[in-house]
Chain A
Amino acid sequence: MRTLIIAEHNGQHLNEQVARAVTAAQQWQQPVDVLIAAAQPDALAAQAATLQGVSSVLVASDAALQHPTAEHLADIIVPLAANYTVVLAAHSAFSKNVLPRVAALLDVNMLSDVLEIVNTNTYVRGIYAGNVLATVQNRDAIQVLTVRGSKFAAAATGAAAEVKAITTPAAPAGSRWISEAFNKSERPALTAAKVVVSGGRALGSADAFAQVIAPLADKLHAAIGASRAAVDAGYAPNDLQVGQTGVVVAPELYIAVGISGAIQHAYGMKDSKVVVAINQDPEAQIFKIADYGLVADLFEVVPQLTAAL
């Protein structure tokens, strides 16, 4: 039997998490196929075909896939599942929208945000905002799961898998894409950045957030993150939220500025290699998970740090 990876992309580039999903898929020791569903799939399929460990690239092509809906993608994936015992993707807003729909249509359970694959049907995943690790077995005939990309190395490139077109059902009625608004940024993507500078409620305003956090992030070529409190207060847009209900990051360096370090925030960043916390409150939770803590007024020391770099 085979393993199917659902590839996320933006129309031009494969998401870098796809290569990580390919590594996770090797655990089953069976051929791995990657599904590209796109309006113009050729370049994307070529990128996927270079990933080592991929047997073949399946291409679903349809104009409606310029902006695919979960309903359309599920209708494409479900008929393929007869040939597969594993359907997986890297965990993201894209995959967690689509794969539960696929699993239910296949009448099988799904496991989300898997951290470790113990064997072909047993996994470790976080529950209670990652405060508890649960080992879970799924005895369904088809294993459907999303994996946390940062827990798996990216597969190398240089291969040349075959590319095959598949029949693509038409987009179902009932759901229609209208628009998308992306926060334009020259910075690296939050989930891919080597350095992340995150700001919390202590910044006090959107202006202060921009004036204190952005220059430090610029110096470090870092992505900018934010705590839920900072997002809820309107200091930063929601897609920058790091935590249980936002994005999970694991950069080389994570700098938490004015962040208390609530459970749900820690969930999103505690796998970072080195954590620096700057907070005025010596009792802040964030110091318990920081490698280096600095108790100080962020408005004084962050500009100092920026200037010293």
Chain B
Amino acid sequence: MKALVAIKRVVDYNIQVRVKADGSNVDIDGVKMGINPFDENAIEEAIRLKEKGIVTEIVAVTIGGAANQDILRHALAMGADRAMLVETQETLHSLGVAKVLKALVEREQPQLILLGKQAIDDDAGQTGQMLAALLKLPQATYASQITIEGNQATVVREIDGGTQTLAVSLPAVITADLRLNEPRYVKLPNLMMARKKPLENVPLDSLSVSLTHNVQQLKVATPPERPAGIMVKDVNELLSKLRTHEGIIG
């Protein structure tokens, strides 16, 4: 079966972004970018399913400017077979992204659609569920284990307080949680080989997706910092400090 994996290019997770002086947006000029960590889990899972002989072809897709080719090359180097970049300079929110991905799914007809559970830049966590809704397909979010037999995926999901197991019929949309797998390192020869794999540019206009721009970021700000705390020298001092907060400890 064919798997389509949607990935996003985000600021590296180790970097603490700064707000521009005018508060219009975050300043990401010259900041290290990379593939969204959960999306890397999604690619890794598709590759493992291919290694098990369940998936036969992996298509990695993303949306954005030409710079996004680097994460697609990364996905190809990990083991995806081909890649598609829907090129646009527009800022799309989750619903817009889901609409573009829907057009790609209709074109590619994958049986398995994998995404990360959330992007670590906007922390929205909506795209997978929205894509499933638009395609009228079953969804299984926050997957920590995926087992595919025939036309059905059994998915263990991370939920508040424990885990839940769902069976979804394919095609379905599944979003990856961190503990689904540990993504492999990309070796240099694979990165070289990935350059020969097909990477198709798909102009956004060619997909005839109608997008609205009803969500607008008005401003950004740095959250107020917690006032500086104090260092205590031992447990007794800590306890006496805590006891000054009425009711916190007995």
Contact = CB atoms under 8 A, between A and B. Distances in A.
Interface of A: 69-71, 74, 92-94, 96-98, 100-105, 107-113, 122, 126-140, 173-183, 189, 191, 195, 220, 228, 231-232, 237-239, 244-245, 247, 252-253, 263-264, 270, 273-276, 287-296, 301, 304-305, 308-309
Interface of B: 11, 13, 16-17, 19, 26, 38, 93-95, 98, 117-118, 120-134, 137-142, 144, 154, 158-169, 172, 177-179, 212, 214-223, 226, 229-236, 238-239, 241-242, 245, 247-250
Given A101-B133, A181-B162, A245-B178, 15 more contacts: A93-B158, A93-B160, A105-B133, A128-B120, A138-B215, A176-B168, A177-B164, A178-B165, A245-B117, A247-B160, A264-B120, A293-B232, A294-B231, A294-B233, A308-B236
B214 A109 contact: yes
A284 to B, nearest CB: 12
Given A109-B95, A127-B122, A239-B160, A97 B223 contact: no
A189 B234 CA distance: 30
Contacts of B212: 140
Given A175-B167, A180-B165, A308-B236, A110 B94 contact: yes
Given A131-B16, A178-B166, A71 B139 contact: yes
A100 B232 CA distance: 46
A290 B17 CA distance: 21
B162 A180 contact: yes
Given A127-B121, A247-B160, A275-B226, A133 B126 contact: no
Contacts, number: 254
Nearest to A92: B160
Contacts of A237: 162
Contacts of B226: 270, 275, 288-289, 291
Contact of B215 (A102, A109, A176, A179): A109
22 contacts: A71-B138, A98-B129, A100-B130, A103-B126, A104-B98, A112-B126, A131-B222, A132-B221, A134-B220, A175-B139, A175-B166, A176-B166, A177-B166, A180-B164, A181-B163, A182-B161, A238-B179, A245-B117, A252-B245, A252-B248, A294-B235, A309-B250
Contacts of B230: 291-293
Nearest to B233: A294
A100 B125 contact: yes
B239 A276 contact: no
A118 B233 CA distance: 43
B216 to A, nearest CB: 5
Contacts of B160: 92-94, 191, 239, 247
Contacts of B117: 245
A135 B231 contact: no
Contacts of A276: 238, 242
Contacts of B248: 195, 252-253, 273-274
Contact of A244 (B123, B132, B221): B123
Contacts of B134: 104
Contacts of B245: 252-253, 273-274
B222 A132 contact: yes
Given A109-B215, A112-B125, A305-B238, A174 B165 contact: no
Contacts of B233: 294
A94 B178 CA distance: 18
A113 B154 CA distance: 29
A97 B129 contact: yes
B218 A96 contact: no
A240 B94 CA distance: 28
A290 B154 CA distance: 42
B32 to A, nearest CB: 14
Which of B142, B218, B222: most chain A Cβ within 10 A? B218
B133 A104 contact: yes
A74 B95 CA distance: 16
Contacts of B223: 126, 130-133
Nearest to A184: B162
A294 B169 contact: no
Contacts of B140: 175
A175 B250 contact: no
Contacts of B118: 245
Contacts of B127: 100
Given A71-B138, A104-B134, A253-B242, A301 B234 contact: yes
Nearest to B128: A100
B101 to A, nearest CB: 11
